[in-house]
Structure 1
Amino acid sequence: MSRQPDQSIALKEWAVAIQALTQGDQILLLRKGGIAEEAKEFQLKENCFYLFPTYLHQKAELLKEEFQPILENIVQQWDQTNKEIPIQYFAEVVQDIEIQDDATLARLYPFHIWTENFAEARLHWKREKPLHLLIVKVYRLEQTTKILLRDEYNGCKSWISLKDEIPQMKITPVLSEEDFEQRVQLILQSINS
């Protein structure tokens, strides 16, 4: 892939979810939008963006049991006094599918790290708005760039504009094209069954 983000836009996501993406445990994100969203709902601002790990509000009880030790490890390694955030990955949205019913969401359960209760809570929050299923292809940057955790990055919002420049560098997909496409097909078949 030759595409990289044209500007320094990043999507905030739990560090544990980013790790799941980068280890191939999932290729999707479920987004409803944060409390501080400009449009009061999630909107896909860019198809290609950096992944900005967040460490607050992650809760083990919202994850399937097998992913809880990963979160424990992340929490132990995170130093709350650290004012730098590692930018190691970016993602390209392959599909943005709106989910509005429990049955479709239930069929997605094998494809993500969250508990059924948490996924359902995301769907039912702001019930009139759809839950966005983002199927994303994730790329590893050749090297990690640490950026300052600025005040404007805080808050319950999905998107941030990075003030620090991320150098353009060689990238590598975390999954092979064949593996990624097989997973996409499994998700789409599940949704449409």
Structure 2
Amino acid sequence: MTPSVALKEWDTQCQALTSGSSALLIRKGGIMETHAGFEVEHRTFSLYPTFLHQNPAELRPDFLPLLREDPQPGRIVLPALAEVVAVHKVESLEQALALEPYQALTTGAIERRFHYRNRPWVHALLLRVRPLLTPLVLEETPEMLGCVSWVPLPEMKAEAGPPVLAERELERVRAEVEEVLSRQ
């Protein structure tokens, strides 16, 4: 059984997570989020690639080759399941910027997210990602639209493969991220 919720994220970042090129997301929240902004409401979820607002200028150069047009407009292709391994609310800009090597955004994009709505913080989510053996394809409904992070999903069954990063590699990334975040 797949999780009953999906997290919307830029398609490029979903591809990076699903391929193992990245294991970290830096989140602030969409314009329709509550006043408190993005919250980690779910610990397991499907990745929901979105093409809306995807900005090449905010992606590190090594992730630009992943940019593409929506291959199935009007449909959502869910590529993977994700599990939150660690979540950190990062309230230091220096610490947030130091996370740049672990994910797809540029330092400028991280800084803009950090200061979004004059609330200086971001969430850093370390994820264990398991690609679906057959991606799930859903018709996009009005309830799925908008600048929100979490999208409820209909009940579905899908089989996921093994995690894209071996447990030892994921633990190495976790340790490095925690080291970065422990610096003042």
- What is the TM-score normalised by the length of structure 2? 0.92
Alignment of 1:52-131 (within 5 A): 52-71=48-67, 74-75=68-69, 78-79=70-71, 82-128=73-119, 130-131=121-122
Identity, in percent, stands at: 32
Cross-structure match for 1:177: 167
Q: Which moved more, 1:169-178 or 1:133-142?
A: 169-178
Distance in 2 of aligned mates of 1:37 and 1:148: 23
User: Residues 139 and 172 of structure 1 are in contact (CA less than 8 Å); yes or no, is this contact kept in structure 2?
Assistant: yes
Distance in 2 of aligned mates of 1:170 and 1:189: 31
Secondary structure of 2:162's match? strand
From 18, 22, 41, the counterpart of 1:26: 22
Cα deviation for residue 130 of structure 1 reads: 2.8
One-letter amino acid of the structure 2 residue matched with residue 26 of structure 1: S
Cross-structure match for 1:161: 152
Where does structure 2 lack aligned partners over 5 or more consecutive residues?
A: none
One-letter amino acid of the structure 1 residue matched with residue 138 of structure 2: I
Q: Quickly say closer, same or farther: Cα 1:190–1:8, change in 2 above 3 A.
A: same
Distance in 1 of aligned mates of 2:163 and 2:71: 28
Cross-structure match for 2:123: 132
Where does structure 1 lack aligned partners over 5 or more consecutive residues?
A: none
Q: How well do the aligned residues superpose, as a CA RMSD in angstroms?
A: 1.7
User: Residues 44 and 82 of structure 2 are in contact (CA less than 8 Å); yes or no, is this contact kept in structure 1?
Assistant: yes
Report whether the alignment pairs 1:45 with 2:46. Answer: no
Distance in 2 of aligned mates of 1:128 and 1:113: 22
Distance in 2 of aligned mates of 1:104 and 1:40: 21
Q: Which moved more, 1:62-71 or 1:36-45?
A: 36-45
Secondary structure of 2:131's match? strand
- Aligned positions, number: 183
Report whether the alignment pairs 1:192 with 2:159. Answer: no
Cross-structure match for 1:12: 8
Cα deviation for residue 178 of structure 1 reads: 1.1
- What is the TM-score normalised by the length of structure 1? 0.88
Distance in 2 of aligned mates of 1:54 and 1:118: 17
Cα deviation for residue 172 of structure 1 reads: 1.6
Secondary structure of 1:69's match? helix
